[in-house]
């Protein structure tokens, strides 16, 4: 069976290299932050966002335990404010919408903050870059976020961006993700 969370990392690895800048827009327990940190290495930079102090504490501990380089800025703020922190272009970004694994399931990502965060992330993408957005349609807000994002991504210029939806077709309540790739410069 396909493992969607592993698959989106494979797509990121086709773009992200040592020394690049990346963002984990939904830090959670730090697994995506770890992946990005180790991929960009000591000369790279990773910005990671979450609104819950528990997520920052868990992520900081996870990064120490897994031997990540000191290249992460853990930010206790909404991903909708990412543009206030990230001033350079990014080569990769990750969103894992929903709630903090092991946390309070009543605290979820919401359309009101997810949409501005996605717009900011798309605007921060460099040439030949990638953004993955994991969606969990098994709860009402997750389903609404997914529909909202499908509409937004379908309106992006295909001359600059390739927007793909990767889903298990015979399991509509299963998680799926959007893959947003910017075109490499021609030359």
pLDDT band of residue 173 (cuts 50, 70, 90) is: confident
Find the mean pLDDT for residues 7-11. Answer: 92
Tell me if 187 is assigned to some domain: no
In this structure, are residues 13 and 22 in contact, taking their beta carbons and an 8 Å threshold? Answer: no
Q: Could you give the 3-state DSSP secondary structure of residue 65?
A: helix
The residue to which tokens 């991504």 are assigned: 153
For residue 100, pLDDT beyond 60: no
For residue 11, pLDDT beyond 80: yes
In CATH, what number is assigned to the domain containing residue 165?
A: 3.40.50.150
**Rounded to two decimals, what is the model's pTM?**
0.93
Q: What is the pLDDT of residue 2?
A: 74
Tell me if 157 is assigned to some domain: yes
Task: Quote the domain boundaries for residue 65.
Answer: 4-182
Tell me if 63 is assigned to some domain: yes
Total domain count for the chain?
1
Please indicate whether residue 181 or residue 1 has the higher confidence score (pLDDT): 181
């Amino acid at each position: 069976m396909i493992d969607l969370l592993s698959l989106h990392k494979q797509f990121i690895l086709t773009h992200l290299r040592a020394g690049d800048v990346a963002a984990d827009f939904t830090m959670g327990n730090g697994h995506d932050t770890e992946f990005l940190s180790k991929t960009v290495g000591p000369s790279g930079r990773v910005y990671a966002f979450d609104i819950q102090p528990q997520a920052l504490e868990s992520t900081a501990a996870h990064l120490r335990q897994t031997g990540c380089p000191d290249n992460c800025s853990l930010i206790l703020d909404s991903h909708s404010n990412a543009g206030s922190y990230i001033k350079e272009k990014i080569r990769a970004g990750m969103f894992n919408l929903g709630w903090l694994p092991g946390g309070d399931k009543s605290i979820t990502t919401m359309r009101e903050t997810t949409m501005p965060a996605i717009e900011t992330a798309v605007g921060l993408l460099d040439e030949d870059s990638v953004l993955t957005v994991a969606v969990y349609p098994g709860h009402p807000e997750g389903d609404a976020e997914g529909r909202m994002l499908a509409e937004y991504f379908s309106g992006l210029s295909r001359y600059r961006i390739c927007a793909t939806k990767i889903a298990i077709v015979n399991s509509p309540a299963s998680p799926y993700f959007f893959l947003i790739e910017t075109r490499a410069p021609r030359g």
